[in-house]
Amino acid sequence: MKTLIKDVTLITMNPSREVFPGYLVVEDNIITEIGRGKAPVHSHQPHRFDKIVPGKGRIALPGFVQTHVHLCQTLFRGQADDLQLMDWLRKRIWPLEAAHDEESIYISAQLGIAELIRGGTTAIVDMETVHHTECAIRALQESGMRALVGKVMMDTGGNVPTGLQENTNESIEESVRLLEKWNGYDNGRIRYAFAPRFVISCSDDLLTEVGKLSRHYNVPVHTHASENREEISLVEVTRGMRNIQFLQKIGLTGPNLILAHCIWLDDSEKRILADDQVKVTHCPSSNLKLASGFCPVPELQSMGVHVSLGADGAPCGNNLDMFLEMRLAALIHKPTNGETSMSAYTVLEMATLGGARAMGLEQEIGSLEAGKKADLILVNLEKPSAYPSVSTDPVSRLVYSGKSSDVEWVMIDGKVVLDEGKLLTLSERE
């Protein structure tokens, strides 16, 4: 299958940061050609392409990568919008997760995936709940979405409903079973990451073993850290040190660690994140809604920390909308750090290449370059609702005035999954 997208504005996210009008060719699941200007369609070669996609008035860019979501929580949104994190978990989310069954997890995942694809997200790092993770993996596999997914692990900690508390060995055995079955599935589109929930819901034994297993299998660890003041004080009380220091001591910090939130950090912890090349996920809308605080993204980036973006399970629009996360990320530091603290380009890079890097996939996805996998989207920013008009910088327009409903076409691993704004079912896909 050979597809040409022609007459399109390309935001490549390549090392030279090139944005230009041109065309792009996809063969099977790989981008094979990118060029400026008119596409190479010749009258003597009318059948060179199986499909030609018109790009006029559209922007082509790499699909968004959200590096922290909970598909299992899609059905619970809007239930406790006024609570802060620990009440939200204890009073609402943990009892609801404990009540999930196979069907509700599957439906929750399907709903979340539909929102993600409609809004141009093509890859996610997903943390499920204790049980039935395989149902969410099935939904991911059927949807065509690229995902790094893991069953949540929680073998200790206060106020967890009985149905959610695991014993250490069961938690590890089930995680390893899922990893061995699913990691690398569908040509590497589905991958596994260990997902201990956060330090205060895990024993030292569990965390130590997760570190060893992640090195043994060379898979990432995905967890929450330093999101909330009560959480970090519980770590100090039980472990006698700061949260990130403890993660380092127990052997978890390194380039394979994906840490969501990272709000309440002292200087020594910021240094660890930089020195150990930890991947931080910024979740601006969730951080506002759960009254968690502000992740010091500009400072972390200036220290060399990799930061990407995710909607988490409690996004403030109650939608897994990367445009909202980008816009909030761009706005949130302006009042304190000044207008240049995070440019629209920096934010878009966090939403694409930065996410790919966090997933360990920067050689495969995250930019439009020949040889990379075809995870890309077409966005129409010429609708009357998209103000201002075409003449301005497309990156700035995407970040400050783009909406999920402007996404018209989505390709993941060479398969079209959204066409003219409509999700395609498995049988409709080519």
Quick one: 58 or 224, whose CB is closer to ligand GUN? Answer: 224
70 is in an annotated binding site: yes
Quick one: 163 or 388, whose CB is closer to ligand GUN? Answer: 163
First-to-final CA distance of the chain = 9
Quick one: 151 or 415, whose CB is closer to Fe ion? Answer: 151
Distances (CA, A) of 149 to 102, 175, 279, 318, 323: 17, 11, 16, 21, 22
* Site map 171..210 versus ligand GUN, x via CB under 6 A: --------------------------xx------------
Residues contributing to the site for Fe ion (CB under 5 A): 312
Stretch near ligand GUN under the rule CB under 6 A, chosen from 187-195, 309-317, 326-334, 357-365: 309-317
Is position 286 an interface residue for ligand GUN (rule: CB under 6 A)?
Answer: yes
Minimum CB separation of residue 314 from Fe ion in Å reads: 8
Is position 227 an interface residue for ligand GUN (rule: CB under 6 A)?
Answer: yes
Contacts of 286 (CB under 8 A, 6+ apart): 292, 311, 312, 313, 314, 315, 316
Phi and psi of 24, rounded to 5°? -145, 140
Is position 312 an interface residue for ligand GUN (rule: CB under 6 A)?
Answer: yes
42 is in an annotated binding site: no
186 is in an annotated binding site: no
Minimum CB separation of residue 206 from ligand GUN in Å reads: 15
100 is in an annotated binding site: no
Binding to ligand GUN (CB under 6 A): which residues in 105-164?
A: none
Stretch near ligand GUN under the rule CB under 6 A, chosen from 55-63, 137-145, 298-306, 310-318: 310-318
Contacts of 181 (CB under 8 A, 6+ apart): none
44 is in an annotated binding site: no
Which of 22, 313, 402, 414 is the binder for ligand GUN (CB under 6 A)?
313
Residue 406 binds which entry of ligand GUN, Fe ion, none, CB below 5-8 Å type-dependent: none
Residue with tokens 């940061």: 17
Q: Cα separation of 348 and 294, whole Å?
A: 19
261 is in an annotated binding site: no
Is position 224 an interface residue for ligand GUN (rule: CB under 6 A)?
Answer: yes
Q: Which residue number has the CB closest to ligand GUN?
A: 224
Quick one: 49 or 94, whose CB is closer to ligand GUN? Answer: 94
Minimum CB separation of residue 413 from ligand GUN in Å reads: 28
Minimum CB separation of residue 96 from ligand GUN in Å reads: 10
Residue 198 binds which entry of ligand GUN, Fe ion, none, CB below 5-8 Å type-dependent: ligand GUN
Binding to ligand GUN (CB under 6 A): which residues in 64-93?
A: 70, 85, 89, 93
Q: Which residues belong to the annotated binding site?
A: 68, 70, 97, 224, 227, 312
Site of interaction with ligand GUN (CB under 6 A): 70, 85, 89, 93, 197-198, 224, 227, 286, 312-314
